[in-house]
Structure 1
Amino acid sequence: MSVPAGTPARTGTAAGDLLTDAQFARVREWVYRRTGIQFGDNKRYFVDKRVTTCVRAHGKDFAAWFAALRGGDERLAQVLVNELTVNETYFLREDHQFDALVHSVLPRVLAQRRADRDRSPVRVLSVPCSTGEEPYSIAMRLVADWPELDEVDVEVVAADIDTRVLDQARAAEYGPRSMHRVPPAWRSRFFEPAGAERYRVVADVREAIEFTTANLCDTTAMRAFRQFDVVFCRNVLIYFDEVSARRAAENLFGALRPGGYLFLGHSESMSRISPIFDPVRLPEGIVYRRPAIGATP
């Protein structure tokens, strides 16, 4: 592997040293196969620091640590995935999409349910959910702005590959960075004080979310996610290469019911990834739909 301009080759192998070029290449390949995320040379320092943290915690040198990792030590694997996962989120991020959910998508879902005389719960998946701000935002918008919630059962499932952020999501405590877009009325209604400039989501909303693990690029594991009416998968496909993004798209397709809707991040476009979804232009923006036989987008 070539070394980026201006970066000297590294030769250290002891715990605490930065990685050699060969070690970096081996870790990068393992992470790609495991998660679908591909780290370029511009992420070298980020990867080096976090991998050496893992090696140091293991108490052995890189060779022993990596041998255990490749040998199937799931504890080491999860620790590494947690270290390398970037989580950037806050409440009501890209709020126009929650407008689309409440005002355009869910009315369509409910109309189809009634036409089919289907009384099963409406199911919404948030993946990756990070520290929980997105699924809690979904639940709060439904409570605040969707009157049909009184008549329809709704299940919200939130999933992430990073077990550490899932623990934080379940704890549901947040500071100013997460809360900066939450209006005062919502702070009073949906949060309780949890210390200096800290807030906790109220129990009724916390208990409405089911948190679990998910790897978007693991087709076998993703088969556990089925029959969702709506999936939010925002700002993660941009970290995948073409092959991984297509695999993730196929797994998201499988997670949706026929006719179900997919929300992507504002800088993402399914048209550049896979043709299997139909784009749907709503007043609030574009969403993507798993085709349903005989249905019109």
Structure 2
Amino acid sequence: MSVSTTGTEPGLSEAQFSRVREWVYRRTGIQFADNKRYFVDKRVQACVREHGGGFDAWFAGLRLGANAALAQELINELTVNETYFLREDHQFDALVKSVLPRVAAERRATGSTDPIRILSLPCSTGEEPYSIGLRLLEDWGDIEDFDVEIVAGDIDTRVLQFAQRGEYGPRSMQRVPLAVRTRWFDRVKADTHRVKPDLRDAIDFRIVNVCDTESMRAYRDFDVVFCRNLLIYFDEISSRRAAENLFGALRPGGHLFLGHSESMSRISPIFTPVRLPEGIVYQRPPIGAAP
């Protein structure tokens, strides 16, 4: 059975759906349940129509890796990108009021001149890393005393291009105070704002797959990692692999922020939960910490 090329023919067969689901899982760690069948069907059909030649030819190219663009196109179609500025703002409070003061105190105590490094993934269309930058610039008193590097990564190349452009509409901007909007955004249309160059150029956007252990080895010695609302899409095996890769990305003593519905205690014991006034974060134990 081939994939529909019109709106009236059936979508994927059970076997085709299973093959695509397994490929996506092995490549990204994301596992689509049966109730996501319609979502997957429509996006796979779009990819097959773009490629031409029917499902079998398309999937053969995907599976054999003959055309890297096929794989990236499917990943782009199947990833979910729902975000806005200053989402779960209490975690940014924790960053500027509790976590970064600890990092700064440690740097001063040791005389280290290393930059403070923050990793945001999956960064989606960029609202999270830009929110981190905004809160540091607006609310962290030590920002003038330290160099800060913010790296933002996602598996979806289209959202990375959107993030680098830095243009946002009302939904994304709904929680940005007017004074902050005036200082750090330019209005480019009646309902569209663009992040000003000083902030936009400060974020390093990259393709990152948190489940790819080999490629994640390039990310090390971060003081803070934001990985919010991603692990809920993984099964137990993928979640554990992602946790280990996030652990490796942090320096000893570094802190991990998860989404409000996620709990590392149900995934892996390698992190230490830390209760801050603003909420719970997870820490890679410092060197010499008791097990």
TM over 0.5: yes
Provide the residue aligned with 1:122 in structure 2: 116
RMSD over equivalenced CA pairs, Å: 1.3
- Please point out which of 50, 62, 65 is paired with 2:58: 65
How far residue 59 of structure 1 moved from its aligned partner, in angstroms, is 1.3
Q: Deviations over 1:72-127 (max 9, x none)?
A: 02110000000000001000000000000000000111111222221100000000
Q: When the two structures are aligned, how many residues end up with a matched partner?
A: 287
- Checking the alignment, whether the CA contact within 8 Å between 1:90 and 1:179 is kept in structure 2 is yes
| Mapping for residues 61-210 of structure 1, pairs under 5 Å | 61-72=54-65, 73-210=67-204
Provide the residue aligned with 1:4 in structure 2: none
The SS at the match of 2:189 is coil
Aligned in 2, Cα 1:122/1:296: closer, same or farther, shift over 3 Å? farther
Provide the residue aligned with 1:230 in structure 2: 224
| Mapping for residues 264-275 of structure 1, pairs under 5 Å | 264-275=258-269
Query: 2:244 matched to 1:250?
Result: yes
Partner Cα distance (1:228, 1:70) in 2: 34
- Please point out which of 6, 13, 30 is paired with 2:23: 30
**Percent identity of equivalent pairs:** 70
Partner Cα distance (1:13, 1:205) in 2: 44
Could you list the structure 1 runs, at least 4 aligned residues long, displaced by more than 3 angstroms after superposition.
11-17, 294-297
Query: 2:205 matched to 1:211?
Result: yes
Partner Cα distance (2:179, 2:97) in 1: 21
- Checking the alignment, whether the CA contact within 8 Å between 1:109 and 1:229 is kept in structure 2 is yes
- Checking the alignment, whether the CA contact within 8 Å between 1:259 and 1:290 is kept in structure 2 is yes
Aligned in 2, Cα 1:184/1:14: closer, same or farther, shift over 3 Å? closer
Partner Cα distance (2:200, 2:223) in 1: 21
Letter in 1 for 2:19: R
Partner Cα distance (1:232, 1:218) in 2: 17
Partner Cα distance (2:184, 2:3) in 1: 50
Partner Cα distance (2:3, 2:289) in 1: 59
Provide the residue aligned with 2:32 in structure 1: 39
TM-score by length of 1: 0.94
In structure 1, the gaps of 5 or more residues are 1-10
- Checking the alignment, whether the CA contact within 8 Å between 1:230 and 1:261 is kept in structure 2 is yes
The SS at the match of 1:96 is helix
Provide the residue aligned with 2:43 in structure 1: 50
Provide the residue aligned with 1:292 in structure 2: 286
How far residue 129 of structure 1 moved from its aligned partner, in angstroms, is 0.2
